[in-house]
C-alpha cells in the first residue's frame, strides 16, 4: 500500500491524554515497558533513520519523505514467561497508524519484523495489533496472528503515525501468558529507573510513588502536566501519593550531593458506567445475533470512541476481560445470560462488568410437509399442510382458513404462514404448496425383442410421469427397459409413486425365427417358437394374409413345414396367434408379440 498523503509534524492540541507521554523517536532510545503503558499523547518527530535508507522493512515502505519512519515511537520489552502473547494499540478511529514488531536485542540488527501492519485504516478501527481485537470485531484485518514467546526474548516495537492529526495511542498487552502468569509475563528488570515503569491506573485510584533510597537526606518531588516540571511544595518524603495524570520526578538528595533524579509517567483513565439493557429474544431460524445492537444502551450516552463494549458467556470472563464473544454471535442456546463488560479504550483495567441480559431463542416453526402435492385424477379433494396442530402455533392460509391443514379440490398454489408466539415475541415461517392434478399411468404398448440370448422388454406409457416399473415381483426401477428377460409369461407393472394409480399387463416372451426355408436341405426347414414349455397349454395358430387358418401346434409339435393339406404354401408373410391358460384358468391370447414371419423358397 502506498502512502500518498503529506506527513506533517503536529504539536499536541488536545487528545486522549492532557500531556505527552514517554516516547522515543529513535530505536536506540526505545522506551522500556513491562506492562500496559499510559496513553501516549502522540508521536511528534521523525527521529533518526533506523533503517539506513532502506526502501522497506517487512510491510513498511518509504513514504514521500524518503524514510520508513514517520512521526515514530519506539518501545522495547522482554518476555518473562512462555506462551501466547499479543497486544492492542488503541487509536483514534479517524487516524492512520501502523506498527512493526521485531524480535531483536540490538537496534543495529533488527532484521525483518515478525508482525507488521501497513493498512490505511479505511475501516476506521479503534484497535490495531497482534492477537484479537478486544471489541470482538473478527473482520479487523489490522490484527496479525498471536506470537508464541519464551522467557528472555527481547522485542522492539515501532509505532508510526501517517495522519495529519495525531491524538496519540495506548498499548495494552494480551494473551495467555497474562492470564497464567500476569506478574512475570514481561520482565521489568530492563527498566533501570528508581520509580519503575510507566503506570496506568483508573480515575479515583491513588498511586503511591516510592523513591526510598538508603543514603537519601531528603526528597524533592516535581510534577509536569504539560507545562514543564514544577516543584510540589511540602512533599519531601520517600513516597508521594498521586491522583492526577502527569509525569512525576523525584530528586533524591544525598549528603555527598550525588543526587538521583528519576521520572515516571502516571496516567489515569476514566472508569465507565455500564447501564442496564433489556433482555432479548431471537428466532431459532436466524443464524446469528448481533450483540453490538446492545452497545448504545449499555453505554448510555458515553462515547464509543472512549469505551469498549465486549460480551462474555460468564461473569468471570467479563470481570477478567477474556474470552469475549464475537459480535455476530452464533452459539445461541434456548436461553442464556450474556455478560457485558464496558472498559476504557485507554486502559482495559478500568471497567464496569455489572450488567448482563438474558438472550432467549424461540423456535421457528419447521414446516416439514411437502410443498408439492398431487391430487389424483378422479379424487374429490386432498389434504395439505400439517396434520398435527401445535398448541402455541397459529395458522393462516391464503384461502382465509386458520387450521393446520385444509382440504383442496382444485389445482393451484396455496400459501400458509405458521406463527409461534412466546411471551409476546413471534417467530413465523411461510410455505407455498403447489397442488397438481395427476393422472394414473396407462400402458400404451410393450415392445418385446425376442433375441433369445438377451430378451429385452420396453414399456411405453401414454403420458409423461415419474413412473416406476416392475417385472414380476422384482424391485421397482425408474428405467422402463428390462433386459435378459427369461422366456415365458411375465407381469409388467407401472406404478405412480405418489399414489395415483398402478397398472399391470401380462406378457409372453417367446423366441422364434423371423423366416424359415422349407426346401428339404435339413436346415431351417420348419418354423416353431422357443419357450412354449414355460406356458400352460400353449397353442399356436398360423394364418395366411387373408386370415385363413393353416396350421395349429402345441408345445409338443415339431413345427410347421410350410404346407397346407399336403400342398406347398407360397413364399410370403404369415401370421400367428399364441394362446395359453392364465393363472385364473382362462384362455388368454399373448399380447405385444411381433406375430408375423416369412416363408422363403
3-state secondary structure 437-488: EECCCCEEEEEEECCCCCCEEEEEECCCCCCEEEECCCCCECCCEECCCCCE
Q: Is residue 136 located within the same domain as residue 57?
A: yes
pLDDT tens digit sequence for 193-214: 899 888 889 999 999 999 999 8
Do 34 and 181 reside in the same domain of the chain? yes
DSSP 21: -
Residue 162: Cβ within 10 Å count: 17
Nearest-angstrom CA–CA distance, 337 and 339: 6
Are residues 499 and 516 located together in one domain of the fold? no
229: phi > 0 → left, psi -120 to 50 → alpha, else beta; which? beta
Helix (H, G, I), strand (E, B) or coil at 145: coil
Residue-range definition of the domain harbouring residue 217: 199-269
Domain presence at residue 1: no
Number of helical (H) and strand (E) elements in the chain, helices listed first: 3, 47
* Residues across the chain: 601
What is the structure's pLDDT at 146? 96
C-beta separation of 230 from 244 below 8 A: no
302-309 mean pLDDT: 91
Give the separation between CA 210 and CA 231, rounded to whole angstroms. 17
Residue at which a domain ends, from 269, 296, 319: 269
Average pLDDT (234-245) is 96
Per the domain annotation, does 219 fall within a domain?
A: yes
Contact criterion met (CB below 8 Å) for 166 and 52: no
Confidence category of residue 331, pLDDT binned at 50, 70, 90: confident
Could you tell me if 40 and 186 lie in one domain? yes
Residues 6+ apart with CB under 8 A from 111: 102, 103, 104
Per residue in 272-283, pLDDT tens? 999 999 999 999
Asked whether the predicted pLDDT for residue 532 surpasses 90, the reply is: no
Nearby residues of 182 by Cβ (< 8 Å), 6 or more positions away: none
The pLDDT of residue 452 is above 70: no
pLDDT, residue 19, reads 41
CA-nearest of 362, 363, 364, 360 to 278 is 360
- End-to-end distance of the chain based on CA atoms, in angstroms? 95
In angstroms, rounded to a whole number, what is the distance separating the alpha carbons of residues 474 and 490?
11
pLDDT category at 357 given cuts 50, 70, 90 is very high
**Strands 60-61 and 56-57, how do they pair?**
antiparallel
**CA distance linking residue 338 with residue 312, whole number of Å:** 6
Q: Has residue 162 got a pLDDT over 90?
A: no
Of 461, 502, 489, the C-alpha closest to 581 is: 489
CATH number at residue 557: 2.60.40
Best CA proximity match to 242, nearest among 214, 272, 265, 213:
265
CATH assignment of the domain containing 476: 2.60.40.10
Q: What is the distance between the alpha carbons of residues 413 and 404, in angstroms, rounded to a whole number?
A: 17
3-state secondary structure of 99: strand
Please count the CA atoms within 13 angstroms of the CA of 338 that sit on its side-chain side. Answer: 32
CA 482 to CA 454: how far, in whole Å? 10
Helix (H, G, I), strand (E, B) or coil at 55: coil
Q: Per the domain annotation, does 299 fall within a domain?
A: yes
- Same domain for 203 and 152: no
Residue 158 domain-assigned? yes
pLDDT tens track for 64-82? 778 898 888 999 999 999 9
How many angstroms separate the CA atoms of 129 and 147, rounded? 11
Mean pLDDT for the stretch of residues 30-40: 79
pLDDT of residue 412: 95
Q: Is the pLDDT score of 344 beyond 80? A: yes
Beta bridge partners of 449: 456
* Rounded Cα–Cα distance for residues 562 and 475 (Å): 43
Residue environment code for 168-191, b if the CB has 16+ CB neighbours within 10 A, otherwise e = bbbbbbbbbbbeeeeeebbbbebb
The x, y and z cell numbers of residue 93, run together, are 478511529
Mean confidence (pLDDT) of the chain = 88
Asked whether the beta carbons of 512 and 529 are under 8 A apart, the reply is yes
| Cβ burial, residue 503 (10 Å; 0-12/13-18/19+) | middle
Asked if residue 19 belongs to a domain, the reply is no
* Three-class SS state of 267: strand
Rounded distance between C-alpha atoms, residue 39 and residue 45, angstroms: 17
Q: What percent of the chain has pLDDT over 90?
A: 57
Question: Which one of 269, 294, 318 terminates a domain?
Answer: 269
Tell me what percent of the residues of the chain surpass a pLDDT of 70: 95
Is the residue at 2 inside a domain?
no
Residue 163 lies inside a defined structural domain of this protein = yes
Cell of 168: 496519540
DSSP state of 291: G
478 and 527 housed in the same domain: no
Residue 22 pLDDT: 67
Specify whether 314 is located in the same domain as 221.
no
Sorting pLDDT into bands at 50, 70 and 90, what band is 514? confident
Q: Please say whether the beta carbons of 295 and 272 come within 8 A.
A: no
pLDDT beyond 50 at 6: no
Residue 15 has pLDDT above 50, yes or no: no
Report how far residue 521's alpha carbon sits from residue 516's, in angstroms, rounded to the nearest whole number. Answer: 12
**Is 0.75 topped by the overall pTM?**
no
Residue 42: strand, helix, or coil: coil
394 shares a domain with 499: no
> Who's near 538: CB < 8 A, 6+ residues apart?
532, 554, 555, 578, 579, 580
Spatial distance between the Cα atoms of 259 and 293, rounded to a whole number of angstroms: 57
Rg, the chain, Cα only: 46
Dist. CA 487–CA 374, nearest whole Å: 38
Whether 74 is covered by a domain: the verdict is yes
Whole-angstrom distance, CA of residue 364 vs CA of residue 15: 49
Q: Are 591 and 530 within one domain?
A: yes
Last residue of a domain, one of 171, 190, 209: 190
How many domains does the chain contain in total? Answer: 6
At residue 41, the pLDDT reads: 67
| 301 and 249 in a common domain | no
Span 249-269, average pLDDT: 92
137 with 33, same domain: the answer is yes
Q: Are 268 and 203 in contact (CB under 8 A)?
A: yes
Cell numbers found for residue 433: 404448496
443-446 own/partner pairs: CB under 8 Å, 24+ apart: 443/492, 443/494, 443/503, 443/505, 445/592, 446/492, 446/505, 446/507, 446/591, 446/592
Say how far apart CA 222 and CA 220 lie, in whole Å. 7
pLDDT in tens, 553-563: 998 888 999 99
Tell me what the mean pLDDT of segment 85-108 comes to.
93
Q: Which residue in the block uniquely carries the three cell numbers 433369445?
A: 452
Answer whether residue 450 shows pLDDT above 80.
no
Residues 101 and 47 in one domain: yes
Amino acid at each position: 500500500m502506498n502512502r500518498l498523503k503529506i506527513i506533517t509534524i503536529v504539536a499536541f492540541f488536545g487528545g486522549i491524554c492532557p500531556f505527552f507521554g514517554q516516547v522515543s523517536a529513535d530505536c536506540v532510545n526505545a522506551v522500556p515497558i513491562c506492562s500496559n503503558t499510559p496513553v501516549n499523547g502522540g508521536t511528534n518527530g521523525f527521529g533518526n533513520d533506523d533503517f539506513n535508507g532502506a526502501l522497506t522493512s517487512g510491510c513498511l515502505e518509504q513514504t514521500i519523505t524518503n524514510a520508513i519512519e514517520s512521526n515514530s515511537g519506539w518501545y522495547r520489552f522482554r518476555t518473562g514467561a512462555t506462551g501466547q502473547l499479543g497486544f492492542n494499540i488503541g487509536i483514534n478511529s479517524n487516524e492512520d497508524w501502523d506498527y512493526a514488531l521485531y524480535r531483536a536485542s540490538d537496534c543495529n540488527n533488527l532484521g525483518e519484523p515478525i508482525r507488521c501492519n501497513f493498512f490505511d485504516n479505511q475501516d476506521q478501527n479503534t484497535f490495531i495489533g497482534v492477537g484479537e481485537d478486544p471489541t470482538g470485531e473478527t473482520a479487523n484485518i489490522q490484527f496479525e496472528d498471536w506470537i508464541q514467546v519464551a522467557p528472555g526474548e527481547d522485542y522492539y516495537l515501532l509505532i508510526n503515525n501517517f495522519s495529519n492529526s495525531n491524538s496519540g495511542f495506548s498499548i495494552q498487552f494480551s494473551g495467555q501468558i497474562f492470564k497464567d502468569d500476569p506478574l512475570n509475563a514481561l520482565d521489568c528488570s530492563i527498566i533501570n529507573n528508581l520509580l519503575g515503569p510507566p503506570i496506568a491506573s483508573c480515575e479515583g485510584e491513588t498511586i503511591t510513588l516510592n523513591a526510598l533510597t538508603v543514603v537519601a537526606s531528603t526528597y524533592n518531588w516535581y510534577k509536569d502536566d504539560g507545562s514543564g516540571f514544577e516543584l510540589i511544595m511540602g512533599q519531601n518524603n520517600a513516597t508521594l501519593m498521586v491522583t492526577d495524570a502527569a509525569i512525576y520526578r523525584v530528586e533524591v538528595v544525598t549528603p555527598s550531593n550525588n543526587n538521583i533524579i528519576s521520572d515516571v509517567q502516571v496516567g489515569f483513565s476514566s472508569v465507565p458506567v455500564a447501564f442496564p439493557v433489556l433482555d432479548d429474544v431471537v428466532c431459532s431460524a436466524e443464524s446469528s445475533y448481533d450483540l453490538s445492537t446492545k452497545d448504545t444502551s449499555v453505554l448510555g450516552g458515553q462515547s464509543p470512541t472512549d469505551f469498549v463494549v465486549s460480551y462474555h458467556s460468564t461473569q468471570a470472563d467479563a470481570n477478567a476481560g477474556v474470552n469475549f464473544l464475537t459480535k455476530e454471535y452464533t452459539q445461541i442456546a434456548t436461553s442464556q445470560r450474556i455478560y457485558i463488560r464496558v472498559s476504557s479504550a485507554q486502559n482495559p483495567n478500568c471497567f464496569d462488568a455489572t450488567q448482563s441480559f438474558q438472550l432467549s431463542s424461540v423456535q421457528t416453526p419447521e414446516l416439514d410437509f411437502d410443498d408439492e402435492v398431487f391430487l389424483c385424477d378422479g379424487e374429490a379433494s386432498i389434504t395439505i399442510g400439517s396434520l398435527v396442530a401445535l398448541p402455541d402455533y397459529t395458522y393462516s392460509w391464503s384461502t382465509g382458513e386458520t387450521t393446520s391443514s385444509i382440504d383442496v379440490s382444485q389445482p393451484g398454489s396455496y400459501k400458509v404462514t405458521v406463527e409461534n408466539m412466546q411471551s409476546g415475541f413471534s417467530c413465523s415461517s411461510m410455505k407455498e404448496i403447489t397442488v397438481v392434478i395427476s393422472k394414473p399411468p396407462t400402458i400404451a404398448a410393450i415392445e418385446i425383442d425376442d433375441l433369445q440370448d438377451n430378451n429385452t422388454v420396453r414399456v411405453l406409457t401414454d403420458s409423461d410421469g415419474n413412473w416406476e416399473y416392475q417385472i414380476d415381483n422384482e424391485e421397482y426401477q425408474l428405467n422402463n427397459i428390462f433386459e435378459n428377460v427369461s422366456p415365458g409369461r411375465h407381469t409388467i407393472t407401472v406404478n405412480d409413486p405418489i399414489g395415483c394409480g398402478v397398472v399391470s399387463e401380462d406378457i409372453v416372451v417367446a423366441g422364434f425365427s423371423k423366416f424359415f426355408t422349407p426346401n428339404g436341405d435339413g436346415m431351417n426347414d420348419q418354423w416353431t417358437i422357443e419357450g412354449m414349455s414355460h406356458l400352460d397349454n400353449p397353442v399356436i395358430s398360423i394364418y395366411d394374409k387373408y386370415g385363413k387358418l393353416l396350421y395349429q401346434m402345441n408345445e409338443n409339435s415339431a413345427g410347421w413345414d410350410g404346407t397346407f393339406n399336403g400342398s406347398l404354401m407360397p413364399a410370403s408373410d404369415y401370421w400367428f396367434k399364441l394362446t395359453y391358460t392364465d393363472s385364473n384358468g382362462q384362455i388368454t391370447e399373448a399380447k405385444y408379440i411381433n406375430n408375423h414371419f416369412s416363408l422363403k423358397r
